[in-house]
Amino acid sequence: MTPVNVLQLDGEQIKLAIQKDGRLTEATLQLLRTAGLQFESAKQRLFTVCRNFPLAILYVRDDDIPEYVADGVADLGIVGQNLVREAERPVEELLPLNYGHCTLMVAVPRESHIQSVEHLAGCKIATSYPVTTRQFFQERGINVDITTISGSVELAPTLGVSTAIVDLVSSGSSLKLNDLVPLESVLQSQAALIANPTTFKDEQKSVILNRLLMRLNGVINARSYKYIMMNAPRKALPSIVELAAGMHSPTVLPTADPDWISVHIAVAEDVFWESIEQLRELGAQGILVSPIEKLFI
């Protein structure tokens, strides 16, 4: 581990550990900056202090983040849920961040005749996630021999090290490249904000944390919704209100035609296209869609 615990930081800040250089780094920096925080990127730094918010950012290896947060070296961390689960340390997950999505997956060589995880009883499994893998097979009552390897897990079956692997998959191209096929998902993961459980108990830290949470929620909610403006028949209003689920009552403005209204609603991104289809069926016209910069629900 990098010895960040020797850092002398001002006691009035809270400390957030993020990945220094990897898959989560760019999205994490972008999230923090969109939340209005001004700070320098990692480069050769171990840490930086925000210019306009009482937060110090520690740049570390992602594997160390659950450890640092559990030990109180950092109050907060942003890391994949896969590593939190594997570390088995007492940290609190505060907020899923909706990036860094991947699946921890059992996979076998295409030419093998194994068609379900039950067929792996007594077999060798190579993984960098031995704890999570052990729990998965134990819960299924399947006895396997787990070999821990730290990199290039996909090569293990070809090298004769194992019959199957348990590894992270996002696009799946790495599995394909190595002639492996997915068998079953062990864990769905995304980046998350985690905290040392004592952070909320410290009055000063909890005030800062709540301010940070409000900002991060504002950014994440904004990414999850689209703002829709339209003209619609007045009689369609009750059905349109239902589409704006989770939000307060939509904005309704009169138009020159008393039977028509102008309506503004925020619609969840994951049902966006279905909502547009329904709005058109309800007779809505001139539907204008715009992204939301920040959204505080």
What minimum distance in Å lies between the beta carbon of 185 and ligand PRT? 13
Indicate the residue among 19 and 163 with the shorter CB distance to ligand PRT.
Answer: 19
| Binder among 82, 127, 178, 199 for ligand PRT (CB under 6 A) | 82
Indicate the residue among 67 and 75 with the shorter CB distance to Zn ion.
Answer: 67
Pick from 110, 137, 136: which is nearest to 123 by CA? 137
Among Zn ion, ligand PRT, none, what does residue 218 contact (CB within 5–8 Å per kind)?
Answer: none
Given a contact cutoff of 8 angstroms between Cβ atoms, the answer to whether 123 and 162 are in contact is yes
| Binder among 56, 83, 156, 243 for ligand PRT (CB under 6 A) | 83
| Binder among 54, 96, 130, 172 for ligand PRT (CB under 6 A) | 172
Q: Is 169 in the site for ligand PRT (CB under 6 A)?
A: yes
How many angstroms separate the CA atoms of 92 and 199, rounded?
10
How many angstroms separate the CA atoms of 88 and 279, rounded?
47
**3-class state of residue 288 by DSSP:** strand
Choose the binding region for ligand PRT from 22-30, 35-43, 66-74, 155-163 (rule: CB under 6 A). 22-30
Residue at shortest CB range from ligand PRT = 80
Q: Is 28 in the site for ligand PRT (CB under 6 A)?
A: no
Q: Is 61 in the site for ligand PRT (CB under 6 A)?
A: yes
**Which residues of this chain interact with Zn ion, rule CB under 5 A?**
62-63
Choose the binding region for ligand PRT from 48-56, 58-66, 222-230, 260-268 (rule: CB under 6 A). 58-66
How many angstroms separate the CA atoms of 250 and 68, rounded?
44
How many angstroms separate the CA atoms of 172 and 202, rounded?
43
236 to 54, 64, 246, 289: CA distances (angstroms)? 48, 54, 19, 19
Helices (H), 5-159: 25-34, 65-71, 81-87, 130-139
What minimum distance in Å lies between the beta carbon of 281 and ligand PRT? 38
Indicate the residue among 104 and 144 with the shorter CB distance to ligand PRT.
Answer: 104
Choose the binding region for ligand PRT from 49-57, 138-146, 172-180, 217-225 (rule: CB under 6 A). 172-180
Residues in contact with ligand PRT, total (CB under 6 A)?
21
Indicate the residue among 75 and 167 with the shorter CB distance to ligand PRT.
Answer: 167
Given a contact cutoff of 8 angstroms between Cβ atoms, the answer to whether 32 and 71 are in contact is no
Number of H helices, E strands in the chain: 8, 15
**The two structure tokens encoding residue 21:** 């250089």
What minimum distance in Å lies between the beta carbon of 242 and ligand PRT? 35
Q: How many C-alpha atoms does 234 have within 13 Å on its Cβ side?
A: 8
How many angstroms separate the CA atoms of 40 and 38, rounded?
7
Q: Is 66 in the site for ligand PRT (CB under 6 A)?
A: no
Positions that interact with ligand PRT (CB under 6 A): 19, 22-24, 61-63, 80, 82-83, 100, 102, 167-174, 189
